[in-house]
Structure 1
Amino acid sequence: MYIPDEFEEKDQEKINKFIQNNSFGILLTAYNDEIYNSQIPFIIKHEEDSLVLYGHLSRNNDQWKVSQNKKVTILFLGPHHYISPRWYIVESSVPTWDYATVKIQGIFELLSRSQTETLLKELSAEFDPEWKAQKKEKEVYYQKMIEEIVGFRIKASAIYAKWKMSQNRPVEDIRNVVENLNRINEQNAKDTADEILKSNFSRLSRT
C-alpha cells in the first residue's frame, strides 16, 4: 500500500481502536492468477503482544481452501469523503479524496469446531448481546449451521495504516475543508471532518 510519510499512522493504540470500530473488513487471498475476496466481521484480540484477527467463512466459499497456511491480507476501511478544490484558498488545486484505511497481513490458520463455536458466541456477544442471552446455540438448527462454516485466525505479521486527512494542506485549507464537510447532511462527511480535526490537532491548535 502506497503511504507517503505525511499520511502514515504509527500510533498502535489509535490503529487498534480504528480496527475495532470498523471491524467489517475485506479478506484478500492471492492464488494463482485469481484474487479471492470476502467481506466479513472480525473479532480483534491481543495475544502475547500480537494482534490476532478471528473470522469465519461459508464452507461453500473456496477462499478458505486456497488460504490455508498462506499469507493473506485484510483491509479495514474508515471514514472517507470527496474534497473539492473549491474549498481551498489556492484556486489551482485539484479534487481529491480524504480517507483512513488499515492493511494487515498474516498467515491464515483454520480453527477447530469447538474454537469456531466459541468464535460465534463472541461475535454474538459483541454485535447482538440480547440474542446471545437467549442461548440459541443449544438449538439443533444452530449446531447444524456451525457445520456449514469455517472459522479461522490470522496473527498479524505486518500492519500498515494510512490516514490521508489533509495533513499536506495549509491550516486555512484544513479549516475550510472541515467547515464544508460539516455543512453536508451526511454522517460519513461529518466523520471525515472529525478525523481531519484529530489528525491535524497540533497544527490547528497553534494558530
Structure 2
Amino acid sequence: MRQNPSFAMTDVTELRRVIDQNPWMTLVSATGAGLVASHYAVLLDEERDDLTIVGHVGKPDDAILGLGEGELLVIVQGPHGYISPGWYGDGPNVPTWNFVSVHLSGVPEILTPGENLVVLDRLVRRFESAQADPRFLWKLPNDPDFVRRLEGGTVGFRLTPTTVVAKRKLSQNRPDDVVDEIILQLERESGGYGDPRLPAEMRRAHEVLRAARGTR
C-alpha cells in the first residue's frame, strides 16, 4: 500500500481500535505456486498491548499459505466508501474512494493445540455474545470430544508484525466546509457504495485535525 504522510496512521491506540472493530481480515502469502489469499476472523492478542494478532485457519489452508514458513501479510479493511466529485462544489474534480486500511506483515508463530483452543473460544465468544441465546464453544450440545476434533481441523497462529503500514484517507486534504458536506452526503448516501460507519470515522479524524489547529 503506497503511503502518503498526510494520510499515515501511526498511533498504536488508534491502530488497535481499527483492528478490533474490523476482525474479518485477508491473509496473503507468497508461495512457490504464486500469491495465495484466504479470509478469516482475527483478533488482537488480549495478553499484549501492541499490534500482535491471533487467529486460526482451517486445514489445509495452513499448508496452502505456508503458514509459519515465511512472511504473512494480514490486511485489515476499515470503513470505506465512494466519494462523488459533485460533493466538492463547483470546479473540476474527480471521484475518489475514502478508506481506512492497516497492513500487518511478519512471520507467524504456530500455536499449540491448547493455545489454539483458547483462541477458538475467544473467537466464538466475540461473535456469539450478541445472540439472545449464545452458543459458546464449550456449551452443549458441543461436548469436549467434539471441540477437540474441531481444534484438530484448524491451525492457530500468533503474528507480531515486523512491518506495519496503515492509511486513513478521509479527505484530510480538503477544506473543513467541503469535509462537512462530504460527511452529510455520506449520511444520505443511497447508491450502495458506502459504509454506514464512514461518516463517523471521518468526524473522528477531522475533530483531531481541527483541535490541533484550534478550529471547530
TM-score (norm 2): 0.86
Q: Which of 178, 193, 196 is 2:199 aligned to?
A: 193
Q: Say if 2:99 and 2:169, in contact at 8 Å, map to a contact too.
A: yes
Q: Aligned partners of 2:139, 2:122: CA distance in 1, in Å?
A: 14
Q: CA deviation at 1:138?
A: 3.0
Distance 1:153 1:64 in 2: 18
Partner of 1:82: 82
Matched with 2:188 is 183
Map of 1:41 onto structure 2 = 41
Distance in structure 2 (CA, Å) of the matches to 1:155 and 1:54? 9
**Equivalent residue for 1:23?**
23
Gaps of 5+ in 1: none
The 2-side partners of 1:48 and 1:196 are apart by 28
| Cα distance, 1:63–1:6 mapped onto 2, change above 3 Å | farther
Q: Which residue of 1 aligns with 2:172?
A: 167
Length, aligned pairs only: 207
Write the letter of the residue equivalent to 2:57. L
Change (3 A) 1:203 1:45: same
Range 60-69 or range 97-106, more displaced:
60-69
Identity of aligned residues (%): 24
Shift in Å, 1:96: 0.5
- 5+ residue gaps, structure 2: none
Distance, in Å, in 2 between the alignment partners of 1:21 and 1:158 is: 20
Q: Deviations over 1:175-196 (max 9, x none)?
A: 1111111112469443111111
* Per-residue CA distance 1:53-81 (angstroms, 9 max, x = gap): 11111112254661323111100001111
Deviations 1:138-179 (CA, angstroms, capped at 9, x unpaired): 343332222111111111212221000000112221111111
Question: Whole-Å Cα distance in 1 between the matches of residues 11 and 45 of structure 2?
Answer: 17
Write 1 or 2 for the structure with the bigger share of strand. Answer: 1
Measure the CA separation in 2 of the matches of 1:106 and 1:15: 17
**Number of the residue aligned with 1:145:** 150
CA RMSD of aligned residues (A): 2.3
